[in-house]
Amino acid sequence: MVFHDQHILPAVRDMKQFERFLKSQFEYGVLLDSQLGQLKGIMREAKAHGKKLMLHVDLIHGIKHDEHAVDYLCQELKPAGLISTRSSVIVRAKQKGVYAIQRVFLLDTTALEKSYSLLKKVQPDYIELLPGVIPSFIEEVAKETGIPVLAGGLIRTEEEVRSALSSGASAVTTSNKELWDVTLN
């Protein structure tokens, strides 16, 4: 079961979006840009509202993006998961028992092939594929790796959400608040 059948994962960029996320029906969300000094308060507020956040480690200002950061974040903040482009972060997140989500950018064929090698070695729980608007690559990456894919980046319409999901994405990550309200029945 993917995030309790939640197919949209709100990606929160600022406090206004965070407040909207807290009032939403969603249980899981992704915290993008943040500052280390704000994280305890944000996580405390999320938990008070029954929300589970996945932290994008690479976008936390004030902390190095390495396995020591993972140790700190997991011990002190207890996130639902961690997202990173760095394999060392993903490996440590798996060791800590939180969702380990490897962010992969579709730049060109060479980058994709290198990503396949890395993903086979690291075996994250999920792959966040960016941009998430290329259905054929969502399907290919899911088949090639056997790892559930989250589609993110440049998804702007309800049709693109549906296309990503029908192409095999387990969920869509989006900071577009209008897409948080998409009904997928």
pLDDT tens column, 15-35: 999 999 999 999 999 999 999
Whole-prediction pTM:
0.96
State pLDDT tens for residues 164-182.
999 999 999 999 999 998 8
What are the structural domains of the chain?
Answer: 3-180 (3.20.20.70)
185 pLDDT band, cuts 50/70/90, is low
In order, the DSSP letters of the chain are --GGG--EEEEE-SHHHHHHHHHSS-SEEEE-SEEHHHHHHHHHHHHHTT-EEEEEGGGEETS-SSHHHHHHHHHHT--SEEEES-HHHHHHHHHHTSEEEEEEE---HHHHHHHHHHHHHH--SEEEEESTT-HHHHHHHHHHH-S-EEEESS--SHHHHHHHHHTTEEEEEE--HHHHT----
